[in-house]
């Protein structure tokens, strides 16, 4: 029998110390990301100021402020990404991460071609603060900048504490590919890789549909297995006889990749000042029936408790064989060298009335779980907070580090949230002597308005006779 960890969310409380809060309105131009220091009233409501297409700019107002003590501190609003910065008119989908050495990384989609999702000219970018958000470096840093309408979209960060290597996970599309225009209109089912001699290689095609593969050291082979004059480097730049001729993700490349989504990993060993990548993960974690496997934007985590201590975990979601979305996590047990995808909470999920569904072929929109954030409980169990269509947060529980999930996904009716990305983080401190989870979302069942922050106190209550636990408010 296993102990049940529960989080009782409270309408108002005091948060002592330093708290990072994330709210992103994914479907619109307004974004909010705040760092709040000191004592914060839970239920605090935020709204974006200073116009459209800004990220990390906010002002506090509403009932949450009224509940705060007289000596509470709220920082002044500051625009970190704004129209014109880094020569971009639009910024969306922020991520905020505080490193082991105290660097604050603000990640963002730098959307040059407009606020829309892919296909679009979208670059993964970072801005750093070296004094815990008091000031920010003058220049932003590009993690990657594919040409034309090739894109990197939706960032998430985590860090391996043993090496202090920082990882950034992003979804990439080659030119012309993406989910805008409807599922399947600009992207196809598949990984973009083929297996030859037991090894997986990315394949390319030319205008005559001849197939090529990128082998070891970036050498390109034709479909007869002969070495060509082409080669491809880590940045996906294409060379012919050693001379750069294009980028394989561009509109004009003579050799093009399969038109689908690519899950890409980048890493930094210098506090986000420079980045190495992309490292393709499709061949490790994407299935051929998926037209899309993408990032749950925000943060990943490294597990600190239990059998899977040290495991790196990122939330992801994918489109199944019936064009329905399902969340999951990918994880690494070797410090980010190799990765695996766990089952979705929709695999073997009990949806009521004796009906069980599976991740790759369920059909109902009401059962979709999409962008998610993952939190570790004090005993090592995981809680996955899922975007969905119910009007509330839906929470899945794993007892094995995200490999499998409890068959019941709980609808938490005290956590109101529309169909929009939400944030959940483990609070690095205690509230009234208890461990806590900080949850933020738009506070409306259908509209992306009234961004609200709540604290949930973690409690053990009862036992569970399976391999997983429950969470409740």
Q: Percent of the chain at pLDDT above 70?
A: 83
Structure tokens at 447: 């509209």
Give every CB contact of residue 469 below 8 A, 6+ residues apart in sequence: 2, 3, 4, 5, 377, 379, 381, 397, 399, 406
Residue partners of 473: CB distance under 8 A and separation at least 6: 7, 8, 9, 412, 413, 414, 415, 456
Whether the CB-CB separation of 451 and 45 falls below 8 Å is answered with yes
Count of helix runs (H) and strand runs (E) in the chain: 2, 38
pLDDT at 246 over 90: yes
Mean pLDDT of 365-388: 97
Indicate whether 66 pLDDT > 50.
no
- Mean pLDDT of the region 368-378: 97
Q: How far is CA 235 from CA 36, 55, 71, 232, 351, in A?
A: 37, 27, 51, 8, 43
Beta strand spans in 135-255 (E):
141-144, 151-159, 166-173, 193-196, 199-205, 211-214, 219-222, 227-232, 237-240, 243-247
Rounded mean pLDDT of the chain? 86
Please, are residues 127 and 135 in contact by the beta-carbon 8 Å criterion?
no
Beta-bridge partner residues of 167: 158, 267
Lowest mean pLDDT among 106-120, 347-361, 420-434: 420-434
pLDDT value for 69: 64
pLDDT of residue 2: 53
What does the pLDDT look like over 273-308, one tens digit per residue?
999 999 999 999 999 999 999 999 999 999 999 999
Residue 77 tokens read as: 């609003």
pLDDT of residue 24: 33
Is residue 343 pLDDT above 80, yes or no? yes
All structural domains of the chain with their residue ranges: 193-257
Which of 365, 400, 369 has the alpha carbon at shortest distance from 385?
Answer: 369
**Mean pLDDT confidence for 59-74:** 53
Model's pTM, two decimal places? 0.87
Active centre residues (catalytic)? 117, 371
Digit-coded pLDDT (tens) for 191-204: 999 999 999 999 99
pLDDT of residue 21: 34
> At a CB cut-off of 8 Å and minimum separation 6, what does 441 contact?
23, 393, 415, 416, 417, 418, 420, 422, 423, 451, 452
In this prediction, residue 67 carries a pLDDT of 54
Three-class secondary structure of residue 86 per DSSP: helix
- On the question of pLDDT at 31 being above 50, the answer is no
Between 230 and 16, the more confident residue is 230
427-434 average pLDDT score: 90
- Region of poorest pLDDT, from 225-229, 234-238, 377-381: 377-381
Residue 297 near residue 310 (C-beta atoms within 8 A): no
100-150 confidence digits (pLDDT tens) = 999 999 999 999 999 999 999 999 999 999 999 999 999 999 999 999 999
Read off the pLDDT band of 74 (50, 70, 90).
confident
193-257 under CATH 2.40.220.10, yes or no? yes
Residue 3 has pLDDT above 80, yes or no: no
For residue 337, the model assigns a pLDDT of: 98
Residue 70: per-residue pLDDT: 72
Mean pLDDT of 353-376: 98
Please say if the pLDDT value at position 239 is more than 90.
Answer: yes
Between CA 396 and CA 279 the distance in angstroms is 29
Q: How far apart are CA 441 and CA 393, in angstroms?
A: 9
Q: Could you tell me which of 369, 418, 389, 335 has the C-alpha nearest to residue 26?
A: 418
């Amino acid at each position: 029998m296993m102990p049940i960890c529960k989080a009782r969310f409270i309408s108002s409380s005091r948060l002592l110390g330093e708290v990072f809060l994330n709210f992103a309105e994914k479907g619109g131009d307004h974004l909010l990301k705040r760092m709040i220091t000191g004592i914060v009233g839970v239920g605090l409501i935020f709204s974006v100021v200073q116009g459209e297409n800004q990220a990390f700019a906010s002002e506090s107002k509403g009932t949450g402020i009224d509940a705060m003590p007289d000596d509470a501190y709220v920082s002044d609003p500051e625009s970190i990404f704004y129209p014109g910065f880094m020569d971009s008119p639009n910024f969306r989908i922020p991520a905020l991460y505080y490193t082991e050495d105290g660097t604050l990384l603000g990640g963002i989609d730098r959307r040059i071609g407009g606020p829309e999702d892919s296909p679009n000219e979208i670059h993964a970018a970072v801005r750093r603060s070296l004094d815990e958000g008091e000031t920010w470096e003058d220049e932003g840093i590009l993690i990657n900048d594919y040409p034309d309408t090739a894109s990197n979209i939706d960032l998430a960060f985590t860090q391996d504490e043993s090496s202090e290597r920082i990882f950034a996970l992003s979804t990439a599309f080659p030119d012309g590919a993406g989910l805008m225009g409807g599922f399947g209109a600009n992207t196809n089912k598949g990984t973009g890789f083929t297996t030859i001699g037991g090894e997986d290689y990315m394949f390319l095609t030319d205008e005559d549909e001849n197939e090529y593969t990128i082998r070891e050291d970036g050498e390109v082979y034709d479909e007869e297995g002969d070495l060509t004059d082409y080669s491809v480097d880590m940045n996906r730049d294409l060379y012919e006889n050693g001379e750069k001729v294009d980028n394989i993700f561009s509109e004009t490349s003579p050799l093009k990749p399969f038109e689908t989504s690519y899950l890409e990993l980048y890493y930094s060993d210098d506090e986000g000042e420079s980045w190495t990548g992309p490292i393709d993960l499709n061949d490790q974690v994407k299935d051929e029936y998926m037209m899309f496997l993408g990032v749950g934007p925000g943060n990943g985590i490294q597990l600190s408790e239990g059998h899977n201590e040290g495991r790196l975990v990122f939330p992801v979601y994918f489109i199944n064989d019936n064009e329905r979305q399902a969340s999951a996590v990918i994880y690494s047990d070797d410090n980010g060298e190799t990765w695996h995808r766990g089952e979705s909470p929709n695999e073997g999920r009990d949806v009521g009335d004796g009906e069980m569904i599976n991740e790759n072929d369920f059909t109902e929109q009401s059962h979709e779980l999409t962008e998610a954030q993952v939190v570790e409980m004090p005993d090592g169990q995981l809680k996955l907070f899922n975007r969905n269509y119910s009007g509330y947060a839906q929470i899945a529980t794993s007892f094995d580090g995200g490999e499998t999930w409890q068959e019941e996904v709980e609808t938490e009716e005290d956590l109101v949230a529309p169909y929009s990305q939400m944030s959940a983080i483990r609070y690095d401190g205690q509230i009234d002597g208890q461990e806590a989870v900080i949850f933020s979302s738009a506070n409306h069942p259908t509209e992306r308005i009234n961004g609200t922050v709540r604290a949930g106190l973690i409690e053990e209550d009862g036992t569970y006779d399976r391999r997983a636990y429950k969470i409740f408010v």
